[in-house]
Homo-oligomer: A and B are copies of this chain.
Amino acid sequence: MNSAIKKIFLFFFVCMMASCLFHCPVSLHAEGILGKLAKGEGKWGQHWKPIEMFRWWDPEHYFEPENKIEGVFEGEKCVICHTLTTPRIAIDWKESAHSKAGVTCDKCHGSDHQKIQLPNPDTCAKCHPEQVNEFKSEKETGHPSHARAFHPDVVEAGWQISKPQPEVAGCAQCHAVENKCDSCHFRHRFKAAEARRPEACSYCHNGPDHRDTECYTTSAHGVITALDGDNWDWDKPLKVGNYRAPTCAYCHMYNGTHNAVENAVYSHIGVEEIDRGAEEFAEKRKAWTNICNDCHSARFAAAYLRGADETVKVSHAKVREAKAVVEDLHKEGLLDAMPKDLARYLDEGHKWNLGGRMYNVTAIEREFFDMLVYQGTTIFKAAFHMSANLQTYELGAFKQDESLAKIKSEASKLRRLKSLEDKVGIKYESFDFWKVGEYTNSLKVIK
């Protein structure tokens, strides 16, 4: 325990510091001085401006310190002040391995308080080169990957840029994983034991196009983890025998690798119609079966994977049946609005991109998008993560049955309207609201 006098001294010291802080303007940038935020980066850089949060989501490109506290602080000095101003950060750090190893605040944030920096993977690599190199090696291993999640998936994707940035902030928030290690290793403890838990992955891996959490938690693996996981020693490495049930990290970061893409069979072809039995996947599939083999027989694992592939194939057959119906409408000019009658796309103009757009399309095209991308991804992920409900019922096969029925009923109506109009001599021209409207106009601004 510190003495009372030391405490009083500290209190006044911190009050003085804090007083400086509170008298400075909260945000210079908000008043027009945008600094690095004035312009986006990448292929479409001239078309977009990042929202302020990009400072923290991509600090390497956008962060600029703005801090009135003067002085150079090192080691315990930072901790003393922050124990009073932001106590939890200090407490968390004190409970971290960093604290025990003498990695004080300044080691990652710098010591000049007016030039405070936010760490990026390179900062972490100074002490953890192996993990960061493995993480970065994902760029070579495949796509999608954590290491390429921000560039190109957010910053260089036409549809991301064409939409107002605040609308797609949710994308950037998670895809920032490329730029910062604390997406998984929550600050300021950064514990591997926490990052190993499926809850950590669930922060981003949920929802229609990343439905891994929902699939895992409804699988037998996930249920056993929910039942018993709190009794496990998550400090143990991700090695055979250490975990009663496989977790996200156990399989995808097998033996602790930080390249989570190498342990996956078909990460990039969830929604693509690709020959899933092709030779190119044989080796990956064998590696995968070896992981299953930690607990299951090789025969069981191989049979399960073959079954899951067949489940995905049926899903694609259903999608192709729907696709033919919509393509015929397009060919005959029968959509509610043809591509030329919709707002222009930033990247593809008026090109038709069935299944590639979830906005600025007609209802039947959006239904098809859902069927292919949202339901298709769910079926793929559910089948390979053993979720009975999600592959067949709720958002899977039987949902695709519904989309197929809706697409056919809509096609039927569009064709009947056309026949009637032809018969009575009406020439249907799509209504103006398809390309003009308050929100739709805001898409054009970025063109």
**A interface residues with partner B (beta carbon < 8 Å):** 21-22, 26-27, 30, 51-53, 55-56, 66, 86-89, 91-92, 163-164, 166-171, 173-174, 186, 194, 197, 199-200, 202-204, 206-210, 218, 220, 223-224, 226-228, 230, 240-241, 243-244, 289, 293-296, 298-300, 302-304, 306-307, 310-311, 313-315, 317-318, 320-321, 324-325, 336-337, 358-366, 370, 382-383, 386-394, 396-398, 401-402, 404-406, 408-413, 415-417, 419-421, 423-426, 428, 430-431, 433-434, 437-440, 442
Contacts and interface: CB of A to CB of B under 8 A. Distances in A.
Contacts of A92: 244
Contact of A299 (B27, B89, B243, B424): B27
Number of copies of this protein chain within its complex? 3
Nearest to A382: B170
B362 A317 contact: no
A423 B427 CA distance: 12
B442 A314 contact: yes
A277 to B, nearest CB: 11
A57 to B, nearest CB: 10
A146 to B, nearest CB: 15
Contacts of A167: 311, 314-315, 392, 397
A416 to B, nearest CB: 5
A397 B423 CA distance: 40
Contact of A439 (B404, B425, B439): B404
B401 A358 contact: yes
Contacts of A433: 321, 324-325, 408, 411
B227 A186 contact: yes
Contacts of A203: 218, 220, 223
A49 to B, nearest CB: 12
A300 B411 contact: no
Contact of A26 (B173, B302, B434): B302
Nearest to A227: B199
A24 to B, nearest CB: 9
10 contacts: A27-B302, A86-B295, A87-B294, A174-B389, A207-B389, A336-B413, A337-B412, A358-B398, A416-B428, A420-B424
Contacts of A438: 317-318, 320-321, 324
